[in-house]
Amino acid sequence: MFIQIRRSLCFLCLLPAAVFADQVVLKNGDTITGSVVKKDGAKLTLHSEFLGDVTMPWSAVKSLKSDQPLTVVLPGGESVLGKLSTAGETLEVATPTATRSTPLATVDAVRNAAEEHNFERLEHPGIMELWTGFFDTGLALARGNAHTATLTDTFNASRTTKHDKITVVLNQIYATALVNNVNGATANAINGAWTYSRDLTPRFFVNTLNSYAHDQFQDLRLRFVAGGGFGVNAIKHGKATLSFNGGGDYERENFTVLQRNSAEANFGDIFAYKLSAATSINQDLTFFPNLSYTGQYRMNFDLSMVTAIKKWLAWHVTVSDHYLSDPVLGKVPNDLLLSTGLHLSFAR
């Protein structure tokens, strides 16, 4: 008797997990139990305790029943919240006040509470929301026969919505060395920029740019660049993105010994690829042919590989080459930087 009672209690404890679950029956007869995450486009995603996220064609769904309230977007864009069930080819949404019905084939979207929250954030984000970014730092020291120190820092923050993107970037290198008992800087450069891009279509976009640069050992006090252009998203899927852009800008250079104002064209590409769950590479190349002084040009190339250690912590290796075809007399045309160190990520 005691054993029977204990088995009954165990059954009752397990019963809520089986009863309080969403259920999808497919047209081939398969039944999947879990929690509906979303119907996005032509796909339905269900989260199963043992299988994880399972995605299936919406057209393959024969019947659907939910034990959690879900947001359903009806034809015409109206959103209703309620528990779902089906009657033949019709989806029924039981709201607190009434039951709404629509053919399964006409449902625009279905979202659980978390997906609806994310959707609302993307539809009406505040200016301080949706920011993500990272901070890279590297430090090298030598003591003994050599006495040197090198510090490199990179800050990158971006805010991406459904239709536009803001990016802010700041790079810095500072190095000192002790030579003949005299300590002095051997590298001192700061580069900063912000860009704004706006989608015209899912494939094409327009953008603006504004950048600043200082390099003590190129005798460059300040380089100011402002311009804009257009671009195209050539590749855009889960593992890889590739975009090409082109346009024009105004450049003002203030060196120690001279000042230059000129018009430039600009074109280049931005490429990102996820090598694995932990490692990704990012490449940015921009070429600036000078329109005021024919034959002169600038080129900025940046390549980095980041390997995640934790969600917020990673290790990076970065190569940067900023080339100037017409440096002031006595200076070399390019600055090549190789750095490695910690990569700290943030999101808001």
Contact 40, 73 (CB under 8 A): no
Place of tokens 């900063």: 192
Q: Tens digit of pLDDT for each residue in 40-81?
A: 889 999 998 888 899 999 999 999 999 999 999 998 889 999
What is the Cα–Cα distance from 248 to 259, expressed in whole angstroms?
20
Specify the higher pLDDT residue, 83 or 237.
Answer: 83
And the tokens for 300?
């900025």
Which percentage of the chain shows pLDDT scores above 70? 94
What is the Cα–Cα distance from 57 to 32, expressed in whole angstroms?
13
- Per-domain residue ranges of the chain: 19-123, 131-347
Q: So what's the pLDDT on residue 20?
A: 54
Q: So what's the pLDDT on residue 288?
A: 97
Place of tokens 């970037």: 169
**Is residue 169 pLDDT above 90, yes or no?**
yes
Assign 2 a pLDDT band (cuts: 50, 70, 90).
very low
Q: Tens digit of pLDDT for each residue in 207-250?
A: 999 999 999 999 999 999 999 999 999 998 878 999 999 999 99
What is the Cα–Cα distance from 331 to 324, expressed in whole angstroms?
10
DSSP E strands in 161-219: the ranges are 164-179, 182-199, 204-215
Average pLDDT, the chain: 89
Give CATH for domain 131-347.
2.40.160.40
**Is residue 17 pLDDT above 70, yes or no?**
no
> Model-level pTM?
0.75
**Is residue 348 pLDDT above 80, yes or no?**
no
Backbone φ and ψ of 123, nearest 5°: -75, -40
**Is residue 10 pLDDT above 80, yes or no?**
no
